[in-house]
Structure 1
Amino acid sequence: MLYVTIILDGAGVGDAPDAQAYGDRGADTLGHVVRQQRPALPNLTRWGLGHLVDGLDAVDAPAASWGRLTERAAGKDSTTGHWALAGLVLETPFPTYPDGFPDDVVAAFCERAGVDGVLSNAPASGTTVIAELGDEHQRTGRPIVYTSADSVFQIAAHTDTIPLDELYRMCRVARKEVMVGEHAVGRVIARPFEGEPGAYQRISAKRKDYSLAPHGPALLDRLQGAGVRTVCVGKIAALFGGAGVGEEIKTAGNADGIQKTLAAIREAAASGQPTFVWTNLVDFDELYGHRNDAPGYAAALEAFDAALPDLEAALPPGAVLTLTADHGNDPTYPGSDHTRERVPVLRFDGTPGRDLGTADTFAAHAADVARHFGMEWAGPTAGGMSRGV
């Protein structure tokens, strides 16, 4: 038995009922990208994406079933979204810092990390903050500490100024000793960069996320308890702090993630062992959504679309491949942060597709995966994304 979920990170479909409360009224990531950029998406269209996104043909007999998930959890960050997809729905949002971190938090970090100060301490774009402060960082040796609209404590450092091992140590200190209690952010993130002033480049492959441990057993833990092998491709394992992860496969962007997902599918098919493969394709969010790059987003969609037939063909009989997302990140929307949106579901299982409707919680995904492996699922699963829900 095999179930594969691929997260198109940040690929929302608009229409969240509480979008205005998050300042995101009118955001529609896939809709705006499709209508403005007109990407060629023949395979996603064949699967039924046109039933969810205006601007694509709504084919009469899609290869996949289609639907939407509504975020019930408080927040619109990656950790909140992935935890909800795993059945852990947050009632209280992770703390955020629109005015930067309080003085006592910064002082505690400096003391425990052994530095005499930090630079920035404000919400910022990662590429912008290193361009503006990278030279000062190299002169002073002070780490660049910044946040965003998400619940994150990010530390950027040039590898010639603060070596990777030292940067990672600082992040562990921040995670375990500083960002705790009322300041328990969803993630502490190491953001190494390299290069010369005016040409700094982040080293995405060396980024490390230090996530808050889930507050209870989630989908991955429960699958492992039922004897299902869990394979996490991309940043999934980091978002759960490794809880329930049988195998972590790191990636260097979408193309690498797709190839490693294909390899994981083929390995699972050959072994015959019950396996859940969970992949995150981060480029949609990190490279294009946050950078307001709608043409780049469209090109990434085209590249994924071109890979879809290979993913489909690799599936053994009886397997399921679901495409969904963790939040929105509309590159056409003002600002550079995540957007509160519903997310799409395209569920391929080799049977004729049908309308799955709109679930009122991301946790419907967890229930669907559990059901595939013959497990009972307790928790919020109203709406639904599979037959019988």
Structure 2
Amino acid sequence: MKRAIILVLDSLGLGSSEDAHLYGDSGSDTLGHIIEECDSSNADNSERSGPLLIPNLIRWGLGEAAIASRNKPLPITRVEPQGAFGYAKEVSAGKDTPSGHWEICGLPVPFEWGTFPVIDNCFPASLLKDLMEQGQIEGTLANKHASGTQVIEEFGEEHIASGFPICYTSADSVFQIAAHEEHFGLERLYKLCRVAKKLVDPLEITRVIARPFTGNSKDGFERTANRKDLTTPPNDLTLLDHIQDANGQVVSVGKIGDIFSNQGVSYTVKAKNNMGLVDQLLSEMIKLKNGLIFVNLVDFDTKFGHRRDVAGYALALEQFDKRIPEIESGLDNDDLVLITADHGCDPTWPGNDHTREHVPVIFYGKSIKNNNLGKRDSFADMGQTIASHLGIKALNNGKACNLN
């Protein structure tokens, strides 16, 4: 079996898709708007300034994919791509993390997951009552849609004083619980989230996320790398299962294992930030010579997209771009690398939620030639292409890209 690497630049959308109006996202464009803001010096901070500098991603084909997706120019230096490039629209009904990842791996989610209404006190009273009784807690805080960092700033001190966990949600199908690692306890938080997952399953809520944090005041609270996602398992086989059935290994770098409820995952390695995850990828490339290394670079989404931090997002892209030569140096002759995303999260867009966008489809490898893949009708085309590359059983969905 050959080797493939999937790099999900979490939330790096390439412009609103045809159905974006159904989600209130017409006109969103994560990468395009970041490039434009940088070009106009609206994304300068103490760590970066000026135009977005991502020469390696442009060289692989990301710039051409972005221009094709938005169908209008971008203020970038255009070069002839060294990889195969295109963009894909999502078949799945939502714009959430599990649906995007599952579809990449050949399993679209055509039904809509359950969500909570966008109102204060958004959780059913019976849900919180059962959570308190079964989770052995005296009360809860927040009970609303909120940004994770903002809700910790708002309720963190009260949480420490009362011992009540902070329960909140977003536009996604998710129930999130934030608690202090020391004052509340990390294992206690994980246990409470396991209780919560059983309680929200009848509501078709996809994920319960443990959001541990540290610090002693709202000016010093900081979320830690000990996040844990409890996700409904995929309802059918994915690319990961097919690889394992063919005696290949699947390595999760970051939160991939959580997203797939560890179905089809051989083992997981984690790190506290994007650069740490790239370090882990490089380490696994030395160890694993066949199968799949599957990486999610979550900071783009959680630290910058949701927080509407254009400068931070731009800096994170530039930092990742500088690591690409290291990835290239570790590639064997028949390796295939995919760069993509699972949804958008435009940092210039109103609100704090994901945006319904096309995603990049960038394939790179020493044997891959410049090839315009155009618009793909499903994220599943990416998984089907990797299945073909690895020489394993074809997936039930998707059409393999022609990389020759």
Superposed pair shares fold, TM > 0.5: yes
SS in 2 for 1:75: coil
Question: Residue deviations 1:215-238, cap 9 Å, x none?
Answer: 111111111001111111010000
Q: Quote the Cα distance in structure 2 between the aligned partners of 1:283 and 1:92.
A: 28
**Stretch of structure 1 that moved more, 15-24 or 369-378:** 369-378
- Alignment pair present for 1:111 and 2:133: yes
Partner of 2:381 in structure 1? 364
Shift of 1:376: 3.3
Q: Quote the Cα distance in structure 2 between the aligned partners of 1:304 and 1:124.
A: 28
- Alignment pair present for 1:244 and 2:245: no
- The one-letter amino acid of 1:340's match is R
- Alignment pair present for 1:385 and 2:386: no
SS in 2 for 1:339: coil
Aligned residues: 380
Identity %: 40
- Alignment pair present for 1:137 and 2:150: no
Q: Quote the Cα distance in structure 2 between the aligned partners of 1:204 and 1:372.
A: 37
Contact kept, 8 Å, 1:48 with 1:58, in 2: the verdict is no
SS in 1 for 2:149: helix
Q: Quote the Cα distance in structure 2 between the aligned partners of 1:361 and 1:142.
A: 43
Q: How does 1:44-193 map to 2 (within 5 A)?
A: 44-53=57-66, 54-60=74-80, 62-97=81-116, 98-99=118-119, 100-175=122-197, 177-181=198-202, 183-193=203-213
Q: Quote the Cα distance in structure 2 between the aligned partners of 1:314 and 1:159.
A: 37
Shift of 1:354: 0.7
Shift of 1:148: 0.6
Contact kept, 8 Å, 2:387 with 2:395, in 1: the verdict is no
* Aligned CA distance change for structure 1 residues 140 and 259 (closer, same or farther; 3 Å): same
Partner of 1:324 in structure 2? 340
Shift of 1:47: 1.3
Q: Quote the Cα distance in structure 2 between the aligned partners of 1:324 and 1:386.
A: 17
- The one-letter amino acid of 2:213's match is F
**Stretch of structure 1 that moved more, 108-117 or 249-258:** 108-117
TM-score (norm: length of structure 2): 0.91
Shift of 1:265: 1.3
- The one-letter amino acid of 1:268's match is L
Partner of 2:46 in structure 1? none
Contact kept, 8 Å, 1:191 with 1:202, in 2: the verdict is no
Shift of 1:124: 0.5
SS in 1 for 2:349: coil
Question: Residue deviations 1:22-49, cap 9 Å, x none?
Answer: 1111000000111211211111111122
Question: Residue deviations 1:336-382, cap 9 Å, x none?
Answer: 11100000011012232110111111111110111111123242314
**Stretch of structure 1 that moved more, 326-335 or 259-268:** 259-268
- Alignment pair present for 1:336 and 2:352: yes
TM-align CA RMSD: 1.4
Q: Quote the Cα distance in structure 2 between the aligned partners of 1:198 and 1:155.
A: 17
Q: Quote the Cα distance in structure 2 between the aligned partners of 1:305 and 1:119.
A: 40
Shift of 1:74: 0.8
- The one-letter amino acid of 2:32's match is G
1:286 aligned to which of 294, 297, 302: 302
SS in 2 for 1:145: strand
Q: Quote the Cα distance in structure 2 between the aligned partners of 1:49 and 1:328.
A: 15
- The one-letter amino acid of 1:251's match is A
SS in 1 for 2:275: helix
- The one-letter amino acid of 1:148's match is S
- Alignment pair present for 1:308 and 2:309: no
Partner of 1:20 in structure 2? 21
Q: Quote the Cα distance in structure 2 between the aligned partners of 1:48 and 1:154.
A: 36
Partner of 2:371 in structure 1? 354
Q: Quote the Cα distance in structure 1 between the aligned partners of 2:99 and 2:76.
A: 30
TM-score (norm: length of structure 1): 0.95
Partner of 2:33 in structure 1? 32
SS in 2 for 1:107: helix
